[in-house]
Amino acid sequence: MPDDRLLSINQVTTRERWTLEQAIDGYARHGVAGIGTWSDSVRALGLQAAARRIREAGLAVTGHLVGGLLTDRDPAVRRTRIDDNRRVIEEAAELGARCVVTIAGGLPAGDRDLAGARARALDGLAELLPVARAAGVTLGLEPLHPMITAARSVLPTLELANDWFEALAPGAAPGEAVPGLGIVVDVYAVWWDPNLAREIARASGRICAFHVSDWLADTTDLRLDRGMMGDGVIDIPGIRGMVEAAGWQGMREVEIFSARDWWQRDPDEVVRTVRERYRTAV
Amino acid sequence: MPDDRLLSINQVTTRERWTLEQAIDGYARHGVAGIGTWSDSVRALGLQAAARRIREAGLAVTGHLVGGLLTDRDPAVRRTRIDDNRRVIEEAAELGARCVVTIAGGLPAGDRDLAGARARALDGLAELLPVARAAGVTLGLEPLHPMITAARSVLPTLELANDWFEALAPGAAPGEAVPGLGIVVDVYAVWWDPNLAREIARASGRICAFHVSDWLADTTDLRLDRGMMGDGVIDIPGIRGMVEAAGWQGMREVEIFSARDWWQRDPDEVVRTVRERYRTAV
């Protein structure tokens, strides 16, 4: 049975009906040990207030979002994105977040040049890495599912995340941790990948966050129809075993975007269900 | 400009409003050179009648569907699937189809064992390959998009299709054609893949069909929301260049599943648009 002290919940899981303050209090009340936070909520509450409240509730911050989104061609937009990333990094430092969950960004409107978008994202990450290091923060490269390559992230596989990691940290030995840089494994994004076992092993020493939810057999939406662990087809314990064999000993963050189901329910029920399923299906 | 004599249309593109007979006549009337056929339509019309009508219309059959779907655990279901594949192969032989478009099948209901499903699919293909060879038919392994891994196909990448090809034809030299076995490249399924160029090159001599459609930036459905070429984000000419560099000189088959848009329109308008976009966006 997974250790309850390693359960974290990303606030997106309850964000339709709980503010960040309510989520902090609610997760703590239910004995959850960590939280994943989003910049817009933290800014709405105030960074200092959010950091204090999370600290007082005794929650770890297993990740802060959203970093990255660095694929725009327009230099002014790009500069705005870099500046926002600097702010997200500062927030992560203040919150004591284990990483900034960092996604590449999608294809700019009207653009078909995937290779170019990937090059710009990698270039932006190279610019941000020293900023993160100076702040004592880790940029966690998170591959997203290929179905949102155009809309959200041109980084669709763990293999490419490992490639980028190695491009950003040349000379790092296999299995060696690199300051300021990590990889986020989200089962929902990677479960289908025939190279999953190989690429998780390759990510040894690099993993900075582990996200769980489930893929529903009757999925109806490309972004907002994730399932509760146990309700879908992902072999979550199997993937957890892989990341643990790759050295991951940190928390398991539950992150469920579910417009048609879990977002409609009473958040207390959601958190109770997360706790139950964490024990039986993670 | 792509050669008009290489334009084929999969009948699914007009199937909501045209029967197979109407599609055969309509495509020929518009100067389209080929058709992709589906078993259910061919059976409804009668195999001999369908073959004769297609022949008389002067259309090539660039592919016949659906082969595969071989992931079930239940031996009886599996046997039914093998038998149906035998029938599909016979149909393809009678139609003179360039290949049977063959997909793996998804995860059986309640099943989370991807590796097992893949093993069963590969096993079924090994059983069918001699059948196809004896009939002078090519099984075209078609990877589908990772978003339908659970629902339709546990073969989500061209890399795995190449792996399976090599497992099924051990000892085949790189670039060498193998009787009865091929690979289908559908831009919609593979465009996002960071390994695309490498794996298309690896498929040299293996490609038996090339399918085109487009990925809409605002895609709303996991199966039935494909776009017309030019309306989305895929660099179709770029991928066509890759398959041609890998030796493909055959036809380009337009295959558009579009419940909300193209399936609602007058099929004559759809075919006219396909012809225009074939010239400007393929």
pLDDT at A1 over 80: no
Mutate to test the interface with B, among A71, A111, A112, A216 (most CBs of B within 10 A): A112
Domains of chain B in sequence order: 4-281 (3.20.20.150)
The per-residue pLDDT for B1 is 61
Question: What percent of chain B has a predicted confidence (pLDDT) above 90?
Answer: 96
pLDDT per position as a tens digit, B159-200: 999 999 999 999 888 888 999 999 999 999 999 999 999 999
CB contact under 8 A, A159 and B118: no
Nearest CB to A150; choose among B118, B146, B217: B217
What is the complex's ipTM, to 2 decimals?
A: 0.96
Put simply, the answer to whether B235 touches A112 (Cβ < 8 Å) is: yes
Q: What is the pLDDT of residues A253-266, one digit of tens each?
A: 999 999 999 999 99
Which residues, at least 6 apart from A249, have a Cβ–Cβ distance to it below 8 Å?
none
B73-91 average pLDDT score = 97
Query: Which helix (H) or strand (E) covers residue A92, if one does?
Result: helix A75-95
Q: How far is A161 from chain B (nearest CA, A)?
A: 11
pLDDT of residue A176: 86
B194 and A159 in contact by Cβ < 8 A? Answer: yes
Once rounded to an integer, what is the mean pLDDT over residues B67-83?
97
Q: What is the pLDDT of residues A98-119, one digit of tens each?
A: 999 999 999 999 999 999 999 9
User: Rounded mean pLDDT of chain B?
Assistant: 97
Asked if pLDDT for residue A45 goes beyond 70, the answer is: yes
What pLDDT does residue B127 have? 98
Is pLDDT of B14 > 80? yes
Give me the helices (H) in chain B, please: 20-29, 39-45, 47-57, 75-95, 114-135, 158-168, 187-190, 196-202, 236-245, 267-281
